[in-house]
Amino acid sequence: MKICWANTENFADAEVVVFGVPDESKSHALRKGSSEAPHKIREISNLRDVYKRGSEVSVGLPFEGISRRIYDLGNVARNDAGRTVEKILSAAKVPIAIGGDHSVSTEIIRSVYKIRGPVSLVYFDAHPDFIASAGSYYGSVLADILPCIDLKSSTQIGIRTPEQEEIDSIKRHSLHVVTPLDIMERGIVDVTCEILDRARDNVYVSIDMDAIDPAFAPGVSVPVPLGLQSLEVLHVLKALAKRRITGLDMMEVCPAYDIKDRTSHLASRMIGEVLSSLPNSTA
């Protein structure tokens, strides 16, 4: 099954390429099942964002519509995620990955670096994922990709449950962090401007769905209260996408713990909104 936003059957013709990585082998979460997310998000997108009237089928679009050509190439293994991103970027297309546990982003971001150079990372997460003392898992993404990212132009957003080691790392590397309370105090428009001002050309967006409050996104691997509102995340995403992004991933949806599939629906919807916001020439 393809995500409902897919509108071409042809890789060569596409401007954006969606793929899934149904792998949670490097998760330590008590909740299992993020490997089910690529299938579930596609399934729910076709149930909730598609309207059928007799034999007529149409997609419920974002208000701006979607004019990009989007190809869903299906799922790939974790070990092929990096190569897949290199193939997509080398063809001047935008990759959108659906995980899987967050460590899948490590291979993806290394490949972005390989093809496009230092990455301006915008990293949505409740957790900094900055544990260097135990590497190569879903809690060490930042530590593992440090050589690939341009710290001065990167931002972590939604952070609200760091371990002491992570607080120390964030300070040592002067990583820019926006907490949910920062957004409440300063407002999302101001915070978004700051993220855009910092970011350079090669912007990669990684979304751990646990950045969002469990009220909006209960079906995640490691839920944490007091999170971002879904519209706040959307505001930042659309602003980044409008200016151009190199790629994006959507990780850690855990369908088995969802409530009425609302987290999968939100993930599908957010991908659709990003697709509608990408500038005309994606190269």
The residue (of 140 and 277) whose beta carbon lies closer to Mn ion is 140
Nearer to Mn ion, 66 or 207 (CB): 207
CA distance 152 to 173: 9
Minimum distance from residue 145 beta carbon to Mn ion (Å): 12
From the list 122, 131, 127, 138, the residue with the least C-alpha distance to 78 is 138
Nearest partner of 24 among 131, 81, 99, judged by Cα: 99
Query: How far, in Å, are 136, 228, 253, 255, 266 from residue 259 at the CA level?
Result: 30, 18, 12, 8, 12
CA 46 to chain centre: 20
249 touches Mn ion (CB under 5 A):
no
CB of 102 to Mn ion, least distance (A): 4
* Binding segment (CB under 5 A) for Mn ion, from list 21-29, 35-43, 204-212, 224-232: 204-212
> Bridge partners of 178?
157
Q: Is 24 among the residues that bind Mn ion (CB under 5 A)?
A: no
Q: Which residue, 42 or 127, has its beta carbon nearer to Mn ion?
A: 127
**Closer residue to Mn ion in complex, CB, 58/136:** 136
**Looking at beta carbons only, is 17 or 159 nearer to Mn ion?**
159
Query: Is 101:24 a contact under the CB 8 Å cutoff?
Result: yes
Kindly identify the residues of this chain, within the stretch 77-116, that bind Mn ion according to CB under 5 A: 102
Tokens of 16: 């954006």
Peptide bond before 100: cis, by omega within 30 degrees of 0?
yes
> Which of 129, 144, 213, 232 is close enough to bind Mn ion by CB under 5 A?
129
Helix 262-277 × helix 37-48 angle, to 10°: 80
Window of 147-155, 174-182, 201-209, 229-237 that interacts with Mn ion by CB under 5 A: 201-209
**Cβ nearer to Mn ion, comparing 107 with 208:** 208
CA distance 191 to 187: 6
- How many CA atoms lie less than 13 Å away from 280 in the CB half-sphere? 0
Residue 15 or 125: the one with the smaller Cβ distance to Mn ion is 125
* Candidate ranges 110-118, 127-135, 158-166, 237-245; the one touching Mn ion (CB under 5 A): 127-135
Query: Does 125 engage in binding with Mn ion (CB under 5 A)?
Result: yes
Region binding Mn ion by CB under 5 A among candidate stretches 53-61, 67-75, 118-126, 238-246: 118-126
Give the interface size with Mn ion as a residue count (CB under 5 A).
4
Report the interface residues with Mn ion, using CB under 5 A: 102, 125, 129, 208
